[in-house]
Structure 1
Amino acid sequence: MAKRKPADLNLLLAVDKPLGCTSHDVVAKVRRAVHERRVGHAGTLDPLATGVMIIGVGQATRLLGMLTLDSKSYVADIHFGYETNTDDSEGEPTRTVEPDQSLFDEEGARRVLSGFLGASEQVPPAFSAISVDGVRSYKRARSGDEVVLPARPIEVSAADLISISLDPESGNPVWTVAFSVSKGTYIRALARDIGRAAGSAAHVSALRRTASGGVGIGQCLAVDGLDAKSARERALDPVATLNLHASSICDEQLEDVLLGRSISAPNGLPVDHGSQVALVHVGQLRAVARVDGDRFKMEHVFPQGIEGVRG
C-alpha cells in the first residue's frame, strides 16, 4: 500500500453551509477547493439547514472527534398548520390542524416557548442519522419501516421569539425563534413538540445554525470562492476551538514530543493533574498532552503541525 502523502494544509476552519446540500457535499467542495483529500466535518447539518459547520483539513481531521461543541445556537422558522414525516418542509404531511388565530399572539407564543426551557427528554425524528441495529434511522424510514426512537436527554437554554409572520403561500403563522441547545438536540423535533404544545401542528421550514460551541457565524467562510490561501488566512485557532490551555515548547522539546516521549511541565501550570494541555511550537499545535504530576504525557502528536494558533 502506498504511503499517504503529507498534507500541505493542516487546519480547522468554519464554513457557512449553503442551503440544499448535504454535509458530505460540503466536505467534497472543500476537498476540491483546497486540493487536499483528507477533509472531514464535525456536526452534521440537514440539507434544509444552513450555517456554521466546522471542517478539519489534513492532520486537523484528527481533532474533530476531540471537539466537544456542547452547545449549538440556531434560528428556526416554525411553520404551523401541519406536521411532516421528516419534521421539516421536505417531508410529506402526516397531521394537519387548522391554525388558530391565537398563534399570532406574541405573549402566548413566548409562554409556549418558555415551557421548553431547561432539561427534558426528546424523541428524535424518525428521519435522522441515529443508528438502529447498525442501520441509519432515515434509511429504515425511507424504506417504509416503522421507526420508534427512544427519548434522550436534551437541554434548551434559550428559546427566544424573534417574530411572528404570515406565510404568503399557506396563510399560516410562522414563528421565528432563536434557540440555544445542548449537543444532540434536534430543532426539527422541538418544532414538532412546540406545535403540539400550542394545540396545533408544526414543522421547521427554515433553519440556520449560528454557533457551534464557541465558533460563530462571523468566523465562517463561504464555500464558493474558498481556496487554500483564504483557508489559511481564516483558519480557526485549534487551541481555542478545543478550549485547552496552551503551553509553548522549545526546539529540543519538540524532538521528544514528536517521538511521543513525555517532557517536563513548567512550574505554576494553571491546570489540574489529569487535564489536557495543547503543546504549541512556533504558532502550530504539535501535540495534545495529559498533565501527569510534573510531566506532560503525549496523547495525540501531530507530525506536520496544525496551523492557526494565535496568542
Structure 2
Amino acid sequence: MNQRTGTSILDRSGVVLVDKPSGPTSHDMVAKLRRIMGTRRVGHSGTLDPMATGLLVVGVERGTKFLAHVVAHDKRYEATVRLGAATHTDDAEGEVLSTAAPADLEALTEERIHAAFDAQRGDIMQRPTSVSSIKIDGKRAHELVREGQEVVLPERPVTIFSLEVLDVVFGVDATSCIDVRISVHCSSGTYIRAIARDVGEALGVGGHLTQLRRTSVGPFDISEARTLEQLEKAPQLSLNLDEAMVRCFDVREVSESEGVDLSLGKWLQPVGHKGVHAAVTPSGRAIALVEEKGKRAASVFVARPAGMD
C-alpha cells in the first residue's frame, strides 16, 4: 500500500496513452510522467523521435513489465516527406548532405512520385536510419553518429501493410522542393524516415521527413491519448492492468482457484490455445499472461503475484 496515495501498487498499475508534443525526447516524457504519476516505475513502449508527435504508450508500476510483452504490434503514422534534399538524420533536424538541382525536381511528375512510394509497400528490406536507437556493440547508433562515426546499419525485413499518398505539393518554401503527405500502416521496427530517404534516392533528388505523427500502436489509438497538460490536471491511467491485458491479448478464462495457482507461479493444464493469452478469472481479474508448451500452460508474466496488494 502506498502511504501517500492510499492505493496499492496494483491499483496504480497500467497504461497511460500520451499525445507527445514535438521537442522532448521519449526519455524526457518518461521523466515528466514519473513526476505526474508519483512513481519511478514508468517506461515507454516504442521510441518517438524528438521531432515526432503523437501516441506514446507508457507503462506505470507493473505496467512497465507488461509492456515488455507488447513489442511486436503494428503502427500507423502520418508524415510529410520533403523531396529535394537529403540530411544525415533523414529528417529536418539533420545537417543537409545534398540538394537536388531545380531542373531535376521540375522533371518529377506525380506519377513518378506515386510509383516510388508504391515500391515501398509490402514485405521489403529496409536499412534503418543511422540515428536510430539500435545498439551496436553496446552503444546506440545515434550516439555513435554524434561522436562523428560513420554508421551504416544492415537491412532487415519489415512490412508496409499500406502506404497512401494523400497530397503532393510542388515548389514549397519558395524553392523547387516537393512535399508529399503520406499515411503509413507498418510493422514494428519500420522507420518512416528510411522511407523518405529511400524514395528520395529512388527519384534521384534526396528526401527527408519534415513532419511525423504516430496515430496508433497495435490496439491503442491516438483518440484515447491525453496531453501532458491534461495529465497534470488529472493524473490517471488510460487503462488499468486488467483492461490493458484483455485489449492486447486473447483471453483464456480460468477459475478463481486456477487464478490463485498462477499467482503462486504454478502452471495450468493446456487447453489447445496457441500463442500468449491473458488468463482472466470470473471476477474479471487478469492474473497472468500464459503460453502453452507441451503439457504445461505456464506464465510468461504474472500481473498479480500472490501477496501483492
TM-score interval (norm. to shorter): 0.7 to 0.9
CA distance in 2, matches of 1:292, 1:79: 49
CA distance in 1, matches of 2:149, 2:19: 34
Report the counterpart of residue 287 of structure 1 in structure 2.
Answer: 288
Q: Residue 35 of structure 2 aligns to which amino acid in structure 1?
A: R
Q: Deviations over 1:75-96 (max 9, x none)?
A: 1110122101101000000011
Report the counterpart of residue 278 of structure 2 in structure 1.
Answer: 278
CA distance in 2, matches of 1:142, 1:174: 28
Q: Residue 159 of structure 1 aligns to which amino acid in structure 2?
A: L
**Correspondent of 1:225 among 213, 223, 230:** 230
Mark the runs of 5 or more structure 2 residues left unpaired by the alignment.
1-6
Q: How far is 1:218 from its partner?
A: 1.4
Q: Residue 157 of structure 1 aligns to which amino acid in structure 2?
A: F
Structure 1 segment 81-230 matched on structure 2, within 5 A:
81-99=84-102, 100-103=105-108, 105-165=109-169, 166-168=171-173, 170=175, 172-226=177-231
Q: Residue 244 of structure 1 aligns to which amino acid in structure 2?
A: D
Report the counterpart of residue 71 of structure 1 in structure 2.
Answer: 74
CA RMSD of aligned residues (A): 2.6
Q: How far is 1:114 from its partner?
A: 0.8
Report the counterpart of residue 28 of structure 1 in structure 2.
Answer: 31
What is the TM-score of this pair, normalised by structure 1? Answer: 0.85
CA distance in 1, matches of 2:56, 2:8: 24
Structure 2 vs 1, CA of residues 298 and 185 (structure 1 numbering), >3 Å: closer, same or farther?
Answer: closer
Report the counterpart of residue 309 of structure 1 in structure 2.
Answer: none
CA distance in 2, matches of 1:89, 1:221: 26
Report the identity percentage.
33
Q: Deviations over 1:145-202 (max 9, x none)?
A: 1212111112222121111225335452100011112211111111011011122111
Structure 1 segment 51-70 matched on structure 2, within 5 A:
51-70=54-73
CA distance in 1, matches of 2:23, 2:196: 20
Q: How far is 1:246 from its partner?
A: 3.6
Q: Residue 85 of structure 1 aligns to which amino acid in structure 2?
A: H
Structure 2 vs 1, CA of residues 171 and 194 (structure 1 numbering), >3 Å: closer, same or farther?
Answer: same
Structure 2 vs 1, CA of residues 56 and 114 (structure 1 numbering), >3 Å: closer, same or farther?
Answer: same
Q: Residue 285 of structure 2 aligns to which amino acid in structure 1?
A: Q
Q: Deviations over 1:260-291 (max 9, x none)?
A: 123457xxx5x53x643212243332211233
Report the counterpart of residue 303 of structure 2 in structure 1.
Answer: 302
CA distance in 2, matches of 1:233, 1:114: 36
Q: Is the 8 A contact 1:73 1:181 kept in 2?
A: yes
Q: Is the 8 A contact 1:10 1:304 kept in 2?
A: no
Report the counterpart of residue 4 of structure 2 in structure 1.
Answer: none
SS at match of 1:124: coil
**Correspondent of 1:243 among 245, 249, 252:** 249
